[in-house]
Amino acid sequence: MTFDLATFLEEAGVGRTLVRLRPKQVFFAQGSSADSIFYLRAGRAKLTVVSPDGKEATIALLSAGEFIGEESLASVGGLHLVTAAAIDVCTALKIAREEMIRVMHQERAFSEMYLKFLLARSMRTQADLVDQLFNSSEKRLARILLLMAEFAEPGESEHLIPPITQ
């Protein structure tokens, strides 16, 4: 039987469960056990972190076709470093850590797709860091607004503009 990447990411199966989240519902919370990874099939989500003194920061905005919780692959018994929450209604495939590792080892097409995702996420994170270190607040705001404009689905009338302070 040949491996079908699209089918693997669309259907529930051994080690895979389809989940539906309402806006503001969490995939997982910061500090919780990292035992699975989510493939966001539809909707938008955000990653946030809360400091010990209660300050919350948004780390990333995610859209369909992205993975959430990749830190679960790093080690058994690891913890989530961030909270992942739905921005709007989300449909996701929850993949158990063991199943994710199995398919990465056995299916080259999946491994290549996942590696491309990780590289793109790493490059985006690096660009965010460079932006924070070297650009003025005005340039950072302009970049964020441009990224948010790209974040919306084509033809979508609703825009994601959160409250912005100084």
Average pLDDT of span 141-165 = 61
In terms of DSSP H, where are the helices of the chain?
5-10, 97-106, 108-134, 137-151
pLDDT in tens, 63-83: 999 999 999 998 777 899 999
Supply the pLDDT for residue 163: 57
Quote the pTM value.
0.80
Residue 113 sits at φ, ψ, to 5 deg, of -65, -45
Q: Is the pLDDT of residue 37 over 90?
A: yes
The reported pLDDT for the residue numbered 164 is 58
For each of the domains in the chain, give its residue range(s) and CATH number, in order of start: 10-151 (2.60.120.10)
Q: How far apart are CA 113 and CA 104, in angstroms?
A: 10
Residues forming beta bridges with residue 58, ordered by sequence position: 48
Whether 94 and 38 have beta carbons less than 8 Å apart is answered as yes
pLDDT digits (tens, 9 = 90+) for 14-25: 999 999 999 999
Q: Which residue has the higher pLDDT, 165 or 125?
A: 125
**Crossing angle of helices 137-151 and 108-134, rounded to 10°:** 150
DSSP 120-159: HHHHHHHHHHHHHHHS-HHHHHHHHHHHHHHHSPTT----
